[in-house]
A and B are shown apart, each in its own frame.
Chain A
Amino acid sequence: MARIMSLADAVAENVRDGDTVAMEGFTHLIPYAAGHEVIRQGRKDLFLVRMTPDILYDQLIGVGAARGMKFSWGGNPGVGSLHRFRDAVENQWPRPLEIEEHSHAAMANAYEAGAANLPFAMLRGYIGADLPKVNPNIRHVTCPFTGEVLAAVPAIHPDVTIIHAQRADRKGNVLLEGIVGVQKEAVLAAKRSMITVEEIVEELSPPSPNSVVLPTWAVTAVVHVPGGAFPSYAHGYYPRSNAFYIGWDEIARDRETFTAWIKENVLDARPEDYARYAANTLAKVA
């Protein structure tokens, strides 16, 4: 059964130095508050996994919390580069970053294989592309029935997966809505999981019998952090701050402005500070 606990306790218990950590969210429901708590607690040597590492992983890389990253698209969507990620890969600052690079299709399949308790995933992928030349974890299998050669990648089995969701009930059952990405698979593929939520309610009342629900017995910890996905968004609660994503470019370009921003907004901040973003409800773009 999931335990409902504080963010500090949940991170202290579930995220350990050296862990393989997936903080998923495909633009939507990115667990910023939880990631910032990981930075505040000074976790190190993490191997980060995510299809679309964006600003949150830029921050984890920039503070030197990561030894490596497995990913399929590392940019600031619609804006440009992740400058901390680039600095790590191009100049090894603040430390070298080992990278394992895939395509989205391969990562999505690899999470699904992880959730299905399989050792690898296969797909009709990477045809004519150069990634298999530089990533030894992209291999091939031959279909025993047709002889077709397909791409194979190892399943993803994170030590811990961290996601953000709309709400949970008091038992720790969790509901996700909107662009649900690969979060369900990432949670079910992991040894431990931590979910921050906008609300904890008496009755979950899923809106449809087919709603995406992660039951309490499949989750390790649930944490109430309203606003915890900002500057990403929570469908039905508050919109994505595209202005933040655009503005991040300038902050992250420079090591000093980045470090100062982290001190002021992460190291000297608290999880409760996120609540102000949750108040910005129904600001949906007309």
Chain B
Amino acid sequence: MTDFTPTEMMTIAAARALSNDDVCFVGIGAPSAACNVARLTHAPDITLIYESGTVGTKPDVLPLSIGDGELCDTALFTVSVPEMFRYWLQGGRITTGFLGGAQIDRFANLNTTVVGPYDHPKVRLPGGGGAPEIASNCGRIFITMALSKRGFVEKLPFVTSMGHGEGSDHRERLGLKTKGPTRVITDLCILEPDPHTKELTVVSIHPGVGRERIVENCGWPIRFAETVIETPAPNETELAVLRDINARTKKAHEGAGPGKEAA
């Protein structure tokens, strides 16, 4: 078995969650890497959609932003942003939304808005972007982010996008017919909501990771499912594809920075 980093394991485990039939709304960063590894390995016909309006895109390098030219150049077609959010997302055409976040709680609600009070934030984060409606309108949601005490918190200062709210049947009580978050893929383990309480529960642990490390890196007393499996290690193809696309991406994003050159 080849050596791999926790981040590589995370991306590959996230990629495996997707299938060929998915129509996937892709968040930037870690979700984008996972979605494209899926496309380049076991799910060649997956439809990747970025909120900038690009549908069926097949980027050769990972985009830095949600609207890089690469996404449009390789898309089946590109629509306006209102059309994207109205017809395709709100219209219920997207099977899977893939999100990241700054903070998550035990019911997979996400915060990317503020740390501290909204009116006097300690840290002002970028905000929700497409996430509030991606979270409610996609058939299901996958989330990928590294497990850490800062990220996995007991209580969110702000709910940017709803996961399972207060747990149990909260989504249904608000009239939502979509599933919400069904899997959270971290660098140490995979979590899924408990079928009844909807609390995120460890269902799979990555190779070489002990339970204590997971407990130590989570901001709430994390629960383990009755049956916990070991995540299969990345195979050589998965690693090669991921490393290739990362190398191509790094090369493409390097270049002259904004010194005297820039206007």
Q: Which residues of A contact B (CB under 8 A)?
A: 26-28, 32-33, 36, 51-52, 71-75, 77-79, 81-82, 85-86, 89-90, 101, 103-105, 108-109, 111-112, 123-131, 134, 148, 178-182, 184-185, 212, 227, 230-231, 233, 235, 239-248, 251, 261, 264-266, 269, 273-274, 277, 284-286
Instruction: Decide if B210 is an interface residue (CB 8 Å cutoff).
Output: no
Q: Tell me the smallest distance from the CB of B106 to a CB of chain A, in Å.
A: 15
If A128-B159, A285-B60 touch, does A181 touch B81 (CB 8 Å cutoff)? Answer: yes
Segment at the A interface, from B1-9, B68-76, B138-146, B226-234: B68-76
Partner of B65, one of A129, A131, A240, A273: A240
Per the bound structure, the CA–CA distance linking A246 and B253 in Å amounts to 9
Cross-chain contact A105 with B90 (CB below 8 angstroms): yes
Partner of A90, one of B123, B126, B252: B123
> Closest chain A residue to B251 by CB distance?
A285
Segment at the A interface, from B12-20, B128-136, B188-196: B128-136
Instruction: Decide if B237 is an interface residue (CB 8 Å cutoff).
Output: no
Per the bound structure, the CA–CA distance linking A212 and B162 in Å amounts to 35
Q: Which residues of B contact A33 (CB under 8 A)?
A: 263
Partner of A179, one of B78, B159, B257, B262: B78
Cross-chain contact B85 with A108 (CB below 8 angstroms): yes
Dominant SS among interface residues on chain B: loop
Per the bound structure, the CA–CA distance linking A82 and B125 in Å amounts to 9
Cross-chain contact A26 with B69 (CB below 8 angstroms): no
Q: Which residues of B contact A273 (CB under 8 A)?
A: 263
Q: Which residues of A contact B213 (CB under 8 A)?
A: none
Segment at the A interface, from B36-44, B51-59, B201-209, B214-222: B51-59
Q: Which residues of A contact B29 (CB under 8 A)?
A: 78
Cross-chain pair count, CB within 8 angstroms: 227
Taking residues whose C-beta sits less than 8 angstroms from the other chain, chain B's interface range is 35 or more
Q: Which residues of B contact A130 (CB under 8 A)?
A: 113, 118, 158-160
If A90-B122, A179-B52, A243-B255 touch, does A74 touch B67 (CB 8 Å cutoff)? Answer: no
> Closest chain B residue to A36 by CB distance?
B263
> Closest chain B residue to A75 by CB distance?
B126
Cross-chain contact A244 with B257 (CB below 8 angstroms): yes
Q: Which residues of B contact A248 (CB under 8 A)?
A: 258
> Closest chain B residue to A230 by CB distance?
B263
If A90-B123, A109-B85 touch, does A242 touch B64 (CB 8 Å cutoff)? Answer: yes
Cross-chain contact A239 with B259 (CB below 8 angstroms): no
Cross-chain contact B136 with A125 (CB below 8 angstroms): yes
Cross-chain contact B165 with A178 (CB below 8 angstroms): no
Q: List 23 A-B contacts (CB under 8 A).
A: A26-B52, A26-B53, A28-B67, A33-B263, A73-B126, A73-B128, A74-B124, A81-B124, A86-B124, A101-B127, A104-B85, A104-B129, A104-B133, A108-B86, A123-B85, A123-B133, A125-B136, A130-B159, A240-B64, A241-B256, A244-B256, A244-B262, A247-B257
If A77-B28, A81-B126, A109-B85 touch, does A247 touch B259 (CB 8 Å cutoff)? Answer: yes
Cross-chain contact A103 with B130 (CB below 8 angstroms): yes
Q: Which residues of B contact A244 (CB under 8 A)?
A: 256-258, 262
Q: Tell me the smallest distance from the CB of A138 to a CB of chain B, in Å.
A: 10
